[in-house]
Amino acid sequence: MHSKILKYFVKLFSLFFIKKRDKFKTLYKTLNIMKTKEVIGKIIKQENISTIDQNKLPNTFVINVPDPYKSYYNRFTHINKPSSIIFVTKTPNSFENILRTTRKINKAYNLNLLAAKCEVAINRRKINGVRVRGINRFNEIPQIQQYYKDAGFDFAKSEKFEDVEALIRINRFMNIEKLEEGFYHSGTEENAYYIEIPKHINWDEFRTMTYEIKNNISDKNYDIALGILYQNSGITEILRVYRPKISLEMLKTIKEKYLKKLE
């Protein structure tokens, strides 16, 4: 008898605890969403890129931008997942058109694509395109291309190159969460962080500074890019840092190195 009563109270307590836990989780998620904000930004980065020669619509120009931490992720999975794909177009498409089209595609086909307007500079040549993230497999690329083609996007004719150095400019929406004054974490990219800097740096200055800093810092295992955020009726200059499980202290160290160069 006593055993049955005890089991009853244990079960009752467990149900009470689960309900409280679920309420806490919901509250935490709500508060976390409230901490993030959506802004428009631009990222400028240098990458070695290659064309995709299979798994695409015939005679179209598609570029693969590799994940800077591909070797890190390959320790945990054997899945070869695209990080960032660029559909090169004959003419530039507006930021608004890319966003509207991508939203329609996501809704119609239950996808979670993140698309942005981008420009790729190879030497003096400039290429326009749509940068797409959220593709799960390389063999999904032709179908996703078809969705954009059906929406009126006109793809450029096929080209072929491998491991070519390029400067990529990406205009996109960003969800950011404030960690501390001047430091943000991406709400959509787990390993992306943003650091405010007080003044504009042109690309040549940034490249020189980055080379010098990475040769005089103990931990250089991170990817960094230049950028801006459009917020508070103005422009905020930023550095985009990409690294799995980076600490706030490391972000502060990187910022300090660049601030010394800006003095």
Q: Are residues 146 and 86 in the same domain?
A: yes
φ/ψ of 8, rounded to 5, equals -60, -45
φ/ψ of 104, rounded to 5, equals -65, -40
Q: Are residues 71 and 143 in the same domain?
A: yes
Question: What pLDDT does 232 receive?
Answer: 77
Q: Are residues 180 and 163 in the same domain?
A: no
φ/ψ of 90, rounded to 5, equals -65, -35
Q: Which helix (H) or strand (E) holds 41?
A: strand 36-51
Tens-place pLDDT, residues 34-65:
478 899 999 999 999 999 999 999 999 999 99
Question: What pLDDT does 69 receive?
Answer: 62
Residue segments in the chain with a per-residue pLDDT below the cut of 70: 1-34, 69-79
Number of domains in the chain: 2
Question: What pLDDT does 213 receive?
Answer: 96
* Structure token digits, residue 93: 């498409």
Q: Is residue 246 part of a domain?
A: yes
Q: Of 150, 168, 186, which residue sits at a domain end?
A: 168
Q: Report the candidate in 109, 103, 102 with the shortest Cα–Cα distance to residue 85.
A: 102
Q: Are residues 54 and 148 in the same domain?
A: yes
Q: Is residue 125 part of a domain?
A: yes
Q: Of 114, 135, 168, which residue sits at a domain end?
A: 168
Question: What pLDDT does 27 receive?
Answer: 43
Q: Are residues 163 and 179 in the same domain?
A: no
Domain, as residue range, for 75: 40-168
**DSSP code at position 24:** H
H-helix segments, 155-241: 203-214
Q: Are residues 159 and 199 in the same domain?
A: no
